[in-house]
Structure 1
Protein backbone atom coordinates (compact mmCIF):
# COMPACT_ATOMS: atom_id res chain seq x y z
CA UNK A 1 0.00 0.00 0.00
CA UNK A 2 1.42 3.39 -0.92
CA UNK A 3 1.35 6.47 1.23
CA UNK A 4 -0.31 9.69 0.15
CA UNK A 5 1.80 12.77 -0.35
CA UNK A 6 0.71 15.78 1.70
CA UNK A 7 0.62 18.09 -1.34
CA UNK A 8 -1.66 15.84 -3.37
CA UNK A 9 -1.23 14.62 -6.90
CA UNK A 10 0.45 16.57 -9.66
CA UNK A 11 -1.98 18.53 -11.82
CA UNK A 12 -2.90 17.32 -15.30
CA UNK A 13 -1.53 19.65 -17.95
CA UNK A 14 -3.15 20.51 -21.24
CA UNK A 15 -0.46 18.69 -23.26
CA UNK A 16 -1.21 15.51 -21.28
CA UNK A 17 -4.87 15.70 -22.24
CA UNK A 18 -4.03 16.47 -25.86
CA UNK A 19 -1.67 13.49 -26.13
CA UNK A 20 -4.15 11.16 -24.46
CA UNK A 21 -7.07 12.18 -26.66
CA UNK A 22 -4.95 12.13 -29.83
CA UNK A 23 -3.86 8.59 -28.99
CA UNK A 24 -7.44 7.51 -28.34
CA UNK A 25 -8.67 9.24 -31.49
CA UNK A 26 -6.06 7.54 -33.66
CA UNK A 27 -6.99 4.14 -32.25
CA UNK A 28 -10.69 4.77 -32.92
CA UNK A 29 -9.85 5.94 -36.44
CA UNK A 30 -7.77 2.81 -37.08
CA UNK A 31 -10.58 0.55 -35.88
CA UNK A 32 -13.12 2.41 -38.04
CA UNK A 33 -10.84 2.08 -41.08
CA UNK A 34 -10.38 -1.62 -40.33
CA UNK A 35 -14.12 -2.15 -40.35
CA UNK A 36 -14.41 -0.06 -43.52
CA UNK A 37 -11.95 -2.42 -45.22
CA UNK A 38 -13.95 -5.43 -44.03
CA UNK A 39 -17.18 -3.92 -45.34
CA UNK A 40 -15.49 -2.85 -48.59
CA UNK A 41 -14.15 -6.35 -49.12
CA UNK A 42 -17.60 -7.89 -48.79
CA UNK A 43 -19.06 -5.22 -51.09
CA UNK A 44 -16.45 -5.89 -53.76
CA UNK A 45 -14.75 -2.49 -53.73
CA UNK A 46 -11.70 -1.75 -55.87
CA UNK A 47 -8.94 -1.09 -53.33
CA UNK A 48 -6.47 0.27 -55.90
CA UNK A 49 -8.40 3.50 -56.54
CA UNK A 50 -10.07 6.24 -54.58
CA UNK A 51 -9.53 6.68 -50.88
CA UNK A 52 -8.90 2.98 -50.20
CA UNK A 53 -5.09 3.17 -50.30
CA UNK A 54 -5.18 5.92 -47.66
CA UNK A 55 -7.51 3.85 -45.50
CA UNK A 56 -5.10 0.93 -45.78
CA UNK A 57 -2.17 3.09 -44.68
CA UNK A 58 -4.16 4.45 -41.73
CA UNK A 59 -4.85 0.91 -40.52
CA UNK A 60 -1.11 0.19 -40.46
CA UNK A 61 0.30 3.49 -39.16
CA UNK A 62 -2.32 4.89 -36.76
CA UNK A 63 -1.85 2.26 -34.00
CA UNK A 64 1.92 2.77 -34.10
CA UNK A 65 1.61 6.54 -33.81
CA UNK A 66 -0.99 6.14 -31.04
CA UNK A 67 1.39 3.88 -29.12
CA UNK A 68 4.22 6.40 -29.50
CA UNK A 69 1.98 9.21 -28.26
CA UNK A 70 0.93 7.13 -25.25
CA UNK A 71 4.55 6.21 -24.55
CA UNK A 72 5.52 9.90 -24.73
CA UNK A 73 2.73 10.74 -22.31
CA UNK A 74 3.95 8.05 -19.91
CA UNK A 75 7.54 9.30 -20.00
CA UNK A 76 6.43 12.91 -19.48
CA UNK A 77 4.34 11.84 -16.50
CA UNK A 78 7.24 9.93 -14.91
CA UNK A 79 9.62 12.86 -15.38
CA UNK A 80 7.13 15.34 -13.92
CA UNK A 81 6.46 13.14 -10.88
CA UNK A 82 10.15 12.52 -10.26
CA UNK A 83 10.85 16.25 -10.38
CA UNK A 84 7.97 16.92 -8.00
CA UNK A 85 9.21 14.27 -5.57
CA UNK A 86 12.78 15.54 -5.80
CA UNK A 87 11.73 19.07 -4.87
CA UNK A 88 9.96 17.92 -1.68
Structure 2
Protein backbone atom coordinates (compact mmCIF):
# COMPACT_ATOMS: atom_id res chain seq x y z
CA UNK A 1 0.00 0.00 0.00
CA UNK A 2 1.54 3.28 -1.06
CA UNK A 3 1.72 6.28 1.30
CA UNK A 4 -0.67 8.26 -0.92
CA UNK A 5 -3.35 5.56 -0.68
CA UNK A 6 -3.02 5.56 3.11
CA UNK A 7 -3.47 9.33 3.22
CA UNK A 8 -6.69 9.06 1.20
CA UNK A 9 -8.30 6.81 3.79
CA UNK A 10 -8.22 8.41 7.24
CA UNK A 11 -9.57 6.34 10.10
CA UNK A 12 -12.83 7.83 11.27
CA UNK A 13 -13.80 8.17 14.91
CA UNK A 14 -16.84 5.90 14.53
CA UNK A 15 -14.61 3.14 13.11
CA UNK A 16 -12.32 3.34 16.12
CA UNK A 17 -15.22 3.40 18.57
CA UNK A 18 -16.88 0.35 17.00
CA UNK A 19 -13.59 -1.53 16.77
CA UNK A 20 -12.68 -0.91 20.42
CA UNK A 21 -16.22 -1.70 21.55
CA UNK A 22 -16.15 -5.01 19.72
CA UNK A 23 -12.73 -5.94 21.11
CA UNK A 24 -13.72 -4.95 24.63
CA UNK A 25 -16.98 -6.84 24.47
CA UNK A 26 -15.23 -9.89 23.05
CA UNK A 27 -12.59 -9.89 25.81
CA UNK A 28 -15.23 -9.39 28.51
CA UNK A 29 -17.42 -12.19 27.12
CA UNK A 30 -14.55 -14.64 26.85
CA UNK A 31 -13.47 -13.74 30.38
CA UNK A 32 -16.97 -14.40 31.68
CA UNK A 33 -17.06 -17.68 29.77
CA UNK A 34 -13.85 -18.86 31.44
CA UNK A 35 -15.10 -17.62 34.83
CA UNK A 36 -18.15 -19.85 34.46
CA UNK A 37 -15.97 -22.80 33.47
CA UNK A 38 -13.66 -22.30 36.44
CA UNK A 39 -16.41 -21.54 38.96
CA UNK A 40 -17.62 -25.10 39.48
CA UNK A 41 -14.19 -26.54 40.41
CA UNK A 42 -13.63 -23.44 42.58
CA UNK A 43 -16.65 -24.37 44.68
CA UNK A 44 -19.45 -22.09 43.49
CA UNK A 45 -22.74 -23.90 44.00
CA UNK A 46 -25.39 -21.16 43.80
CA UNK A 47 -25.44 -19.31 40.49
CA UNK A 48 -28.62 -17.36 41.24
CA UNK A 49 -27.00 -14.88 43.65
CA UNK A 50 -24.80 -11.85 43.14
CA UNK A 51 -23.27 -11.22 39.72
CA UNK A 52 -23.45 -14.82 38.50
CA UNK A 53 -26.64 -14.41 36.44
CA UNK A 54 -25.00 -11.53 34.52
CA UNK A 55 -21.72 -13.43 34.18
CA UNK A 56 -23.56 -16.45 32.80
CA UNK A 57 -25.70 -14.46 30.34
CA UNK A 58 -23.05 -12.03 29.07
CA UNK A 59 -21.34 -14.47 26.65
CA UNK A 60 -24.73 -15.38 25.18
CA UNK A 61 -25.34 -11.80 24.12
CA UNK A 62 -21.83 -10.36 24.06
CA UNK A 63 -20.20 -12.70 21.55
CA UNK A 64 -22.86 -12.28 18.82
CA UNK A 65 -22.94 -8.53 19.42
CA UNK A 66 -19.15 -8.29 19.17
CA UNK A 67 -19.29 -10.25 15.91
CA UNK A 68 -21.98 -7.92 14.57
CA UNK A 69 -19.88 -4.87 15.49
CA UNK A 70 -16.85 -6.32 13.68
CA UNK A 71 -18.98 -7.00 10.61
CA UNK A 72 -20.32 -3.43 10.76
CA UNK A 73 -16.77 -2.03 10.88
CA UNK A 74 -15.76 -4.19 7.92
CA UNK A 75 -18.80 -3.21 5.85
CA UNK A 76 -18.27 0.48 6.60
CA UNK A 77 -14.62 0.17 5.64
CA UNK A 78 -15.40 -1.63 2.38
CA UNK A 79 -18.07 0.92 1.44
CA UNK A 80 -15.76 3.82 2.21
CA UNK A 81 -12.93 2.23 0.23
CA UNK A 82 -15.24 1.54 -2.73
CA UNK A 83 -16.42 5.16 -2.74
CA UNK A 84 -12.83 6.38 -2.59
CA UNK A 85 -11.84 4.14 -5.51
CA UNK A 86 -14.89 5.16 -7.50
CA UNK A 87 -13.91 8.82 -7.26
CA UNK A 88 -10.46 8.24 -8.78
Give the RMSD, CA atoms, in angstroms. Answer: 1.6
Which residue in the other structure is 2:80 paired with?
Answer: 80
Greater share of helix: 2
* DSSP-derived class of the 2:5 partner: coil
CA distance in 2, matches of 1:38, 1:79: 40
Structure 1 residue ranges (4+ consecutive) displaced by more than 4 angstroms after TM superposition: none
TM-score, length basis structure 1: 0.86
Which residue in the other structure is 2:16 paired with?
Answer: 17
What runs of 5+ residues in structure 1 fail to find an aligned partner? none
Q: Given the alignment, which residue of 5, 9, 12 partners 1:8?
A: 5
What runs of 5+ residues in structure 2 fail to find an aligned partner? none
Count of paired positions: 85
TM-score, length basis structure 2: 0.86
